[in-house]
Structure 1
């Protein structure tokens, strides 16, 4: 009988996990004692939202070895859906003839896409492939110029008369679900194009696509108000005006914790099922997996889409909590690199390690600014009158300390724990 013979006995007492959880709890209590309940609870809610993002990345990178450098784009898509579905209806738009005109313009877009797609299939009617390609390209250029002219006319009217189309006034949770679905749909489209690339080229492609998504949301004033932002966004829980800041944030934290628990349970079951073993086999040896009859492309696409869905849900929850949709506020540093650091610190492929890493890194990220500011103020008071330390512009310097601390942290982790605080447990069979 085949029995697992891992170097690390799976039934061992989880001492490392227990120590890390205790250390994390002590850090959280320290933040509560230093910063107060309202500030600390807000920090935990944001850390929980980032944990969902990190779980999405860890299954792509840790489970399947797919390096997604475009997390920001899927976070923005989730935030867009959270805004669109929860913001109240804009009567100035819906009470006019503009919805019909916009619908007709979008119908032209769909028709143009269908015509171009049909042109790419002309070779089945006997048209030479080179001629087919030329026809498809020329048709796409002509239809683009026609359709974009029609669409710009309608969207310009929307901006001048109604500001933007507004929202749908639905419960916030609907926007979160649709945000995950939209991110997954975009991930499906991207996966068909990019998953054949090597890991470094995949990272470049996803990074570029994330910037395209951000640019579209930023410049579509008729849809998102662009740089004017949309606020306030409603919460799925009673707001601070009803129950107070601490209690409202505690309710929101409870929802995010339940979401993490459900996601963790489902991912744990999937990881230890046949599906998870297949994904890891493809990651470790794609050629052998294909020789064993596994559909490599289908499985890789599945894991990429699943990770994008979690990123969309996490982005929607984070945007709703911040109560503002600002396309300019989505930054690679905050919404891609920081998530990457969380996964590296926790351990790619280890769900518990990813959650611990997410909360720990976010605490360090948030607390490095006030701690650095306090240190600078202390140095300024000690050096007052001596001229050896200038206290000018300490606030911006303290803010920059975040990047320094995170850079130092990732350097130390890669040097002393390259597989993370909780490495993936790989069971070997004999």
Structure 2
């Protein structure tokens, strides 16, 4: 019986060691063969053709300026992609951080106003700043009175009363000092320091404000976070616009120094080429650091929080701290990019920081390139800015053609074509984002997340 059972069962053939070795040699090349990034090569090749076309149509000086501005916007887009693409935090206050970076670059680089420093105004302004610090310290100390048993309701009432009284006193002193500054010396002037130092401080200033905002607002849901960051950006813009003693307000400040030789020294093309080299080096350093961070354990942790916050918290991760870190890092890049862009434009105008030019345009760059993909963000930044700049001249040429044909056939005589061509840029960008969301919702170069078995 046992013999029949043993013979009735099928025998399994065990491969010999030599067969395993030959099979492994056949499979190894297929596993180790690198895949050619065909999509990236095609897209960047097409982008290079477009940029060369702009060079041939508009001239090298114009095209170089376009690339410098596009590189500054690329830094802003990298700041947004690590906030939104890495951690899922949508920041609608890009304009505020860009303005902070621009103010820092202006304040550190413009010449010193000796009339201000030779008067008693700096000392009076310093006392006001010390009073502000004292009020903040008092309110913070009141909120910590729970350690000596003070009830929460009483702490809240005392903090509100102390803050209100301190605010009224400080504002009255500040208005007195700033009124004298505007009437006697116009504004406080700058520090006359190197431009690059203003860029660094601009990033630090934007990061510091981002830390405060993140500490208050990152506990909100995504839609409320958008409203909060947008409102704070408008507050920053309003402060810079109305502080004539600090920024000259609507009178603007120009010209701003460059960190490279100016067009008056070496010509427009050479100066812009030097500036482009500086921004390209900055992008290369930022890209390298972000690439290392993205593929490090820190980057995997950030993506885990983005994809499943509950599971990440269950694994013992500090959700709020990590979210605040990523928000601050993004704000730092926005401040640096805003400083570089303001210095290149050569003018600080608080009214020029429009949501369409900064918040919406940077958002389109990230969506088009691919949220969470640094390479895609760079591609989207350059492509969208080229489309934004060139859609005006192309629309104007098309309108002139249509007007000429309409005048010959129907007697059309439309006017104000220049302003209509500028408005066409908004239509082109809107059409572009609709097409991307319809046909490539993850972007043209989507995020690539490694899968581990």
Same fold per TM (> 0.5)?
yes
Counterpart of 2:51 in structure 1 is: 28
What pairs up with 1:191-230 in 2 under 5 angstroms?
A: 191-230=214-253
What pairs up with 1:323-338 in 2 under 5 angstroms?
A: 323-338=346-361
The question of 1:406 aligning with 2:429 is answered yes
Deviation at 1:218, TM superposition (A): 0.5
Matches of 1:391 and 1:70, distance apart in 2: 39
| Contact 1:377 1:391 (8 Å CA) reproduced | no
Flag the 1:27–1:121 CA change in 2: closer, same or farther, 3 A: same
Matches of 1:140 and 1:39, distance apart in 2: 52
Counterpart of 1:179 in structure 2 is: 202
Matches of 1:86 and 1:161, distance apart in 2: 22
Counterpart of 2:88 in structure 1 is: 65
Deviation at 1:390, TM superposition (A): 3.6
Flag the 1:140–1:220 CA change in 2: closer, same or farther, 3 A: same
Q: Secondary structure at the match of 1:321?
A: helix
Matches of 2:203 and 2:411, distance apart in 1: 53
What pairs up with 1:116-135 in 2 under 5 angstroms?
A: 116-135=139-158
Matches of 1:177 and 1:140, distance apart in 2: 32
Counterpart of 2:285 in structure 1 is: 262
Deviation at 1:196, TM superposition (A): 1.1
Flag the 1:10–1:366 CA change in 2: closer, same or farther, 3 A: farther
Counterpart of 2:327 in structure 1 is: 304
Matches of 1:139 and 1:9, distance apart in 2: 68
Deviation at 1:85, TM superposition (A): 0.3
What pairs up with 1:415-430 in 2 under 5 angstroms?
A: 415-430=438-453
Matches of 2:294 and 2:167, distance apart in 1: 44
Choose the corresponding residue for 1:291, options 314, 319, 331: 314
Deviation at 1:210, TM superposition (A): 0.6
Structure of higher CA gyration radius: 2
| Contact 1:379 1:389 (8 Å CA) reproduced | no
| Contact 1:345 1:413 (8 Å CA) reproduced | yes
TM (norm. structure 2) is: 0.92
Matches of 1:403 and 1:82, distance apart in 2: 29
Matches of 1:244 and 1:40, distance apart in 2: 15
Counterpart of 1:43 in structure 2 is: 66
Deviation at 1:125, TM superposition (A): 2.8
Q: Secondary structure at the match of 1:427?
A: coil
Further displaced range: 147-156 or 113-122: 113-122
Counterpart of 2:22 in structure 1 is: none
| Contact 1:195 1:300 (8 Å CA) reproduced | yes
TM (norm. structure 1) is: 0.96
Instruction: For residues 162-186 of structure 1, give each alpha carbon's deviation from its aligned partner in whole angstroms, at most 9, with x where no partner exists.
Output: 1111110000000000000001111
Counterpart of 1:5 in structure 2 is: none
Q: Secondary structure at the match of 2:128?
A: helix
Could you say what the CA RMSD is over the residues aligned between the two structures, in angstroms?
1.3
Matches of 1:412 and 1:266, distance apart in 2: 32
Matches of 2:140 and 2:179, distance apart in 1: 28
Deviation at 1:127, TM superposition (A): 2.5
Deviation at 1:385, TM superposition (A): 5.2
Matches of 1:276 and 1:32, distance apart in 2: 38
Instruction: For residues 362-389 of structure 1, give each alpha carbon's deviation from its aligned partner in whole angstroms, at most 9, with x where no partner exists.
Output: 0000000011111111111222255464
Flag the 1:269–1:109 CA change in 2: closer, same or farther, 3 A: same
Matches of 2:209 and 2:231, distance apart in 1: 14
Choose the corresponding residue for 1:358, options 381, 388, 392: 381
The question of 1:244 aligning with 2:267 is answered yes
Matches of 1:319 and 1:221, distance apart in 2: 18
Matches of 2:93 and 2:196, distance apart in 1: 24
Counterpart of 2:418 in structure 1 is: 395
Q: Secondary structure at the match of 1:384?
A: helix
Deviation at 1:135, TM superposition (A): 1.7
Choose the corresponding residue for 2:397, options 336, 350, 374: 374
Deviation at 1:81, TM superposition (A): 0.3
Q: Which runs of 5+ in 2 are unaligned?
A: 1-30
Flag the 1:9–1:240 CA change in 2: closer, same or farther, 3 A: farther
Instruction: For residues 389-413 of structure 1, give each alpha carbon's deviation from its aligned partner in whole angstroms, at most 9, with x where no partner exists.
Output: 4430101100000100000000000
Matches of 1:388 and 1:23, distance apart in 2: 40
Matches of 2:86 and 2:118, distance apart in 1: 49
Deviation at 1:198, TM superposition (A): 1.2
Q: Secondary structure at the match of 2:338?
A: helix
Matches of 2:321 and 2:413, distance apart in 1: 59
Matches of 2:357 and 2:57, distance apart in 1: 24
Counterpart of 2:16 in structure 1 is: none
Q: Secondary structure at the match of 2:90?
A: coil
Q: Secondary structure at the match of 1:68?
A: coil
| Contact 1:376 1:391 (8 Å CA) reproduced | no
